[in-house]
């Protein structure tokens, strides 16, 4: 064996290697490659990996099904007051808790108004403790809520009244979140909000009516020691029903009430000792214009009142109780008419007493 190899080596040396060494280099390189390939074949022949052809499905995030009757998210909502002031908005406090053993992600609260006349104008976060909470329109986005943890946020909610009708707002929160790869949604009803009815009361004095008819008598501007008669009309209008409406005022010195009156609704009385007039209406119904009371007064100025504009009533005020909705009780002092006759288109500004 070795003689054959030696003989072959001598033959190739004399014929190739001694003449050109590149033949020797090429043969050595090829021999090394052959040795390496033989080693790889032997090594792969002894390599026997264990292959499991049965592919198992991934382990679900939640091994037990969710109980949809007891969802993971517990949400409580409170409003500071059931009576809504449109300018100030409603103060809404939300408290939420993750009752599950899995985190809640992509948590969103969308506020939705169920009453057709109203829409949500905007949301403002009020004293919020978590800067990751954000607002987009009527939607509130919260950070991930870890298992068994809770949080809260306080909001100011502002509304728009589309047609100035309606006194009650029904609304809710539509929640959505991810838990264990499942998207859960739920609706939470919020406390009903009531808008207080608006009651407008006004007292106006006339010498000539808005149609131009003369109602008063005597000199105009008023003259010292001479009587001038005026008519005072009180009108009440409301966009909701009110009970037990009472208007009261006192006559100033130098002003006396006559027996001439025009009462379209309610009862009118005058207390001579207190110099006080009282107009009572048991029920003011919404959007009616029939609640008016008119009466005549007489002014006799004195010398010390020259160049002064004199009041025809003092201490005017009214009170009433809203019948439904917010059932708000209103009580307000209002301005009183004077001799300048602000609403008299013909005689306006002729109020200063003359000699």
The domain total for the chain is: 2
Judgement on whether residues 215 and 328 belong to the same structural domain of the protein: yes
Q: Do the domain assignments include residue 49?
A: no
Q: Do the domain assignments include residue 5?
A: no
Let me know: does 186 contact 109? Beta carbons within 8 Å: no
Residues 6+ apart with CB under 8 A from 239: 164, 197, 198, 286, 287
**pLDDT band with cut points at 50, 70 and 90 for residue 182:** confident
Q: What single DSSP character describes residue 45?
A: H
Structural domain including 276 reads 199-333
Judgement on whether residues 277 and 323 belong to the same structural domain of the protein: yes
Let me know: does 297 contact 230? Beta carbons within 8 Å: yes
Q: What is the DSSP string of 197-222?
A: PPEEEEEEEESB-TTS-B--BS-SS-
Judgement on whether residues 186 and 213 belong to the same structural domain of the protein: no
pLDDT digit string, tens, across residues 267-311: 999 999 999 999 999 999 988 888 999 999 999 999 999 999 999
Judgement on whether residues 123 and 227 belong to the same structural domain of the protein: no
Q: How far apart are CA 287 and CA 237, in angstroms?
A: 7
CATH number at 140 reads 2.60.40.1510
What pLDDT does residue 56 have?
42
Tell whether the model's pLDDT for residue 61 goes beyond 50. Answer: no
* Residue that is last in its domain, among 169, 194, 219: 194
Q: Which of 260, 249, 248 is nearest to 206 (CA)?
A: 260
Judgement on whether residues 146 and 210 belong to the same structural domain of the protein: no
What are the strands, taking DSSP E only, across the chain?
Answer: 73-79, 90-98, 105-113, 118-125, 134-136, 139-142, 150-161, 168-169, 171-179, 182-189, 193-194, 199-206, 228-238, 242-250, 255-263, 267-271, 276-284, 292-299, 314-322, 329-333
CATH number at 218 reads 2.60.40
Judgement on whether residues 153 and 173 belong to the same structural domain of the protein: yes
Judgement on whether residues 106 and 229 belong to the same structural domain of the protein: no
Q: Do the domain assignments include residue 146?
A: yes
pLDDT digit string, tens, across residues 1-46: 666 766 666 666 666 666 666 666 777 777 787 788 888 878 777 7
What pLDDT does residue 111 have?
94
Judgement on whether residues 187 and 299 belong to the same structural domain of the protein: no
pLDDT digit string, tens, across residues 105-152: 999 999 999 988 899 999 998 866 666 788 999 999 988 999 889 888
Judgement on whether residues 88 and 190 belong to the same structural domain of the protein: yes
Q: Do the domain assignments include residue 53?
A: no
């Amino acid at each position: 064996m070795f003689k054959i190899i030696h003989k072959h080596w001598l033959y190739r040396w004399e014929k190739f290697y001694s003449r050109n060494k590149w033949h020797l280099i090429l043969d050595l390189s090829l021999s090394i490659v052959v040795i390496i390939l033989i080693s790889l074949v032997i090594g792969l022949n002894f390599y026997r990996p264990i292959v499991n052809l049965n592919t198992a499905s991934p382990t679900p995030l939640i091994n037990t099904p969710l109980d949809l009757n007891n969802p993971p998210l517990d949400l409580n909502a409170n409003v500071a007051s059931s009576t809504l002031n449109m300018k100030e908005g409603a103060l809404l406090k939300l408290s939420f808790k993750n009752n599950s053993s899995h985190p809640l992600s992509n948590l969103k609260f969308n506020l939705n108004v169920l009453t057709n006349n109203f829409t949500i104008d905007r949301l403002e976060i009020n004293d919020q403790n978590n800067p990751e909470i954000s607002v987009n329109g009527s939607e509130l986005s919260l950070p991930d809520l870890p298992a068994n943890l809770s949080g809260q946020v306080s909001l100011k909610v502002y509304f728009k009244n589309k047609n100035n009708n309606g006194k009650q707002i029904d609304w809710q929160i539509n929640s959505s979140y991810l838990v264990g790869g499942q998207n859960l949604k739920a609706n939470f009803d919020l406390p009903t909000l009531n808008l207080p009815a608006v009651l407008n009361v006004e007292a106006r004095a006339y010498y000539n009516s808005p149609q131009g008819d003369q109602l008063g008598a005597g000199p105009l501007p008023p003259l010292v020691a001479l009587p001038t008669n005026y008519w005072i009309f009180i009108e009440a209008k409301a966009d909701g029903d009110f009970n037990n409406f009472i208007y009261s005022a006192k006559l100033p010195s130098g002003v006396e009430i006559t027996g001439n009156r025009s009462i379209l609704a309610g009862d009118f009385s005058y207390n001579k000792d207190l110099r006080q007039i009282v107009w009572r209406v048991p029920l003011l119904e919404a959007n009616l214009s029939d609640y008016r009371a008119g009466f005549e007064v007489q002014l006799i100025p004195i010398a010390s009142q020259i160049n002064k504009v004199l009041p025809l009533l003092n201490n005017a005020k009214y009170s009433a109780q809203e019948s439904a909705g917010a059932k708000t009780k209103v009580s307000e002092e209002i301005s009183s008419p004077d001799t300048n006759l602000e609403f008299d288109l013909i005689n306006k500004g002729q109020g200063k007493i003359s000699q």
